Amino acid sequence: MLTDDELVALFHDLESDRVERKRDYRSNADRIRQAICAFANDLPDRRLPGVVFVGQNDDGTCAGIDVGDELLKTLGGLRSDGQILPFPVMSVARKEIDGCAVAVIEVAPSMQPPVRVDGRTWIRVGPRRGTATPEEERRLAEKQTWHNLSFDARPCLDASLEDLDLVRFEAEYVPSATSPESRRQNGRSTGDKLRALRLLSREGRPVNAAILLLGRDPRAFFPGAYIQFLRLDGSSLTDPIIDQKEIGGTVPDQVRQIEELMRLNVRITATIGGSQRREQPDYPLEALEQIVRNALLHRTYDQSTMPVKVYWYSDRVEVINPGGLFGEVTPETIWKNATAYRNPLLAEGLKSLGVVERFGYGLARAERTLSENGNPSLGYQFEPNYTLFKVEPAQ
């Protein structure tokens, strides 16, 4: 964190390449995201935070805007709204400098560049802010600090490019994760593209997230990377099994298959009153989808051979995933859109592929959907080694 004296110096220094000034948020939202991205990429390798002053004009004068809690909340939300990936390390605070109230966004250099906004890699060198060239993206990829990476961003030591479905990577992942401008740039090999998207290590090995997103056989490397589905005729595991399946493949494939299976198992009751027909499912599909996606995203892949379990009893549905709550997410903050990701690169890939729409809101959406459908509140159990969510049928 910068000291107050350092912030004052940057506030007055109109020549610094570590500062961007924006009059307000509403008319500059995209440019603020781009500035955050550029400071996080730190192409000149200054290894110092960059600052965006919201409420200051380009000429250094005060814009005189209202810097209240709503603005600070909006700016803080830029970190995890899914448009800047991977998540930047940043802080937002209100400061008053020489009588001018400003919102200060402080952005630390990323340990996992390139950082992108909607598929575009933004950089800043001197007064220039623009999109990176392929050579500049290569330089950013080489800056990754491997020993500080999360599990999913580390190399899968037993894997090679042959273990990835590269046709699928080119056809599905690249178009969803990069901008049209970068795709039009010539001269990029498949390996270059994998490195630019942080899916390939310096040594040319796929990272663990690449195996989970694009692997030909993820279970060959992560034995627990599948879903176990049980439909039971009763309320106990000892009751007769109606249906059981093991759902494997990549994580996106698991999401598609389990959601189709859950759709088949939801029962819909129709009631007719007058000229109107009302249909009510015993379980709202959207709530079940959000809970299962949450389980696949936040589970532990490296320390457990346990699958994600979806157990469908006669009186409830339980979703269990290996791995307890992570980081700053606690039993209290989990319902307040707290975001901390055990698998941030996997999260980024699922967001790019459209499997995840928005970060930090899945469980809140599940709760809202359950309430609207007439189901009891979501039950839960948080243990050090696993997390369980329980959904009961509509009343």
**Cβ-contact 233, 314 below 8 angstroms:** yes
Please give the residue that has the higher pLDDT: either 203 or 62. Answer: 62
In this structure, what token pair is assigned to residue 98? 């020489």
247 Cβ contact list (under 8 Å, min separation 6): 226, 227, 228, 229, 254, 257, 258, 261
pLDDT of residue 147: 58
- CB burial of residue 4 (10 Å; 0-12, 13-18, 19+): exposed
In this structure, what token pair is assigned to residue 145? 């600090």
pLDDT of residue 100: 97
Cα 135 to chain centroid, rounded: 26
Q: What does the alpha-carbon distance between residue 109 and residue 135 come to, in Å, rounded to a whole number? A: 19
Task: For residues 356-376, give the mean pLDDT.
Answer: 89
Please give the residue that has the higher pLDDT: either 185 or 103. Answer: 103
The architecture (CATH level 2) of 227-391 comes to 2-Layer Sandwich (3.30)
Query: 4-128 in CATH: which number?
Result: 3.30.950.30
Residue 193: is its pLDDT beyond 70? Answer: yes
Domain map of the chain by residue range? 4-128, 145-218, 227-391
Task: With cut-offs at 50, 70 and 90, classify the pLDDT of residue 360.
Answer: confident
Please give the residue that has the higher pLDDT: either 133 or 54. Answer: 54
pLDDT of residue 16: 85
Q: Of 128-132, 209-213, 380-384, where does mean pLDDT reach its minimum? A: 128-132
DSSP 57-75: -TTS-B------HHHHHHH
Residue 234: is its pLDDT beyond 90? Answer: yes
Residue 146: is its pLDDT beyond 70? Answer: no
Cα 370 to chain centroid, rounded: 24
**Average pLDDT value over all residues in the chain:** 91
Task: With cut-offs at 50, 70 and 90, classify the pLDDT of residue 328.
Answer: confident
**Cβ-contact 117, 86 below 8 angstroms:** no
Task: For residues 162-167, give the mean pLDDT.
Answer: 98
Q: Which residues of 223-233 are buried (b: 16+ CB within 10 A; e: fewer)?
A: ebbbbbbbbbe
pLDDT of residue 273: 63
Task: With cut-offs at 50, 70 and 90, classify the pLDDT of residue 186.
Answer: low
pLDDT of residue 180: 83
Residue 4: is its pLDDT beyond 80? Answer: yes
